[in-house]
Amino acid sequence: MAPVTRIDAIRYARHERNASANFAAPVDDHDLPMPLDYFVWAIHREGHPPVIVDTGFGEQAAAARGRIITRPLVEGLRDAGIDHLSVEDVILTHLHYDHVGSLSLFPNAKFHVQDAELAFATSRRVCDQPTRAPFDAEPVAQLVRKLYADHVVFHDGDDEFAPGIALRVCPGHTAGLQVVCCETERGTVVLASDAAHLYANITRQLPFPIFVDEAEYREAQERALELAGGSLDHLIPGHDPLVLKCFPTKDDIARVDLPPHTPISETQ
Ligand SMILES: [Zn+2]
Ligand SMILES: [Zn+2]
């Protein structure tokens, strides 16, 4: 049996926008709707509590940024059969507001983050307003408090997390973004987070327009796809509504350990 027995992609929020907002260069379909979904992911293994990947954002951030919460995260976790109090490990792919907004839901967890990511989020680079915009101060401060309470585990580059779960750095969108590679029955499934917001960022070879280093971001997209064995069906982007559409889904929870019922290549 493969070490990872199930992966849930739990959708908790949505943002309506046009295609022009999703690419680092002009696109032909710029004025067509291309909304973003927001997810957290849960990795299940036999005999272990689920590992949560990212923690979403709450009502306050949603109101401040005009995002719509489709289901509070705690309810999404419950509907996936997960008790947030029993979670022991949370992997933070990066520290943008939509990935670290609910740290307090997991009082018993260790938070796994790249050295470079927390260093950046508390560095002089944050003095620059456009660079700072996708971060929120409060979750970064909460993470620093978790650090002082021995609840942060640092990773420096590629790392083996647990049998069947590996961390691979794909920087560019942020300084220390890590993707999560999971060994499932159907092979390696890569939770790419914002290494690729949308499948279209990869197929058009155009990254999302938020980055600290655009050239690195392009390489990161390529690396994420390589880690997925070159297969779009094995890469799970951070914000693509196609995840709910193409994978077996119930109650806005997609089983991405299973093969998609519609191959992703047919949607592009
Ligand atoms: Zn991001
Ligand atoms: Zn994001």
Nearest CA to 62 among 103, 36, 98? 98
Separation of alpha carbons 120 and 90, rounded Å: 20
- Res 52: pLDDT: 98
Residue that has been written with the tokens 């999703």 in this structure: 22
- Cα 40 to ligand 1 centre (Å): 13
Ligand that lies nearest to the alpha carbon of residue 95, given by its number in the listed order: 1
Ligand that lies nearest to the alpha carbon of residue 15, given by its number in the listed order: 2
For the chain, the C-alpha Rg in angstroms (whole number) is 17
Residues contacting 148, CB < 8 A, separation 6+: none
Q: How confident is the model at residue 76 (pLDDT cuts 50, 70, 90)?
A: very high
- Res 46: pLDDT: 97
- Res 152: pLDDT: 98
- Cα 238 to ligand 2 centre (Å): 6
CATH class of 4-257: alpha beta
Ligand that lies nearest to the alpha carbon of residue 173, given by its number in the listed order: 1
pLDDT digits (tens, 9 = 90+) for 29-60: 899 999 999 999 999 999 999 999 999 998 99
- Res 249: pLDDT: 98
- Cα 193 to ligand 2 centre (Å): 7
- Res 221: pLDDT: 97
User: What average pLDDT does this structure show over 226-251?
Assistant: 98
pLDDT digits (tens, 9 = 90+) for 144-195: 999 999 999 999 999 999 999 999 999 999 999 999 999 999 999 999 999 9
Ligand that lies nearest to the alpha carbon of residue 96, given by its number in the listed order: 1
Instruction: List the beta bridge partners of residue 113.
Output: 154
Contact 231, 188 (CB under 8 A): no
- Cα 101 to ligand 2 centre (Å): 11
Ligand that lies nearest to the alpha carbon of residue 210, given by its number in the listed order: 1
**What is the CB neighbour count within 10 angstroms for residue 149?**
9
- Res 129: pLDDT: 96
Domain ranges of the chain: 4-257
Task: Answer yes or no: pTM beyond 0.75.
Answer: yes
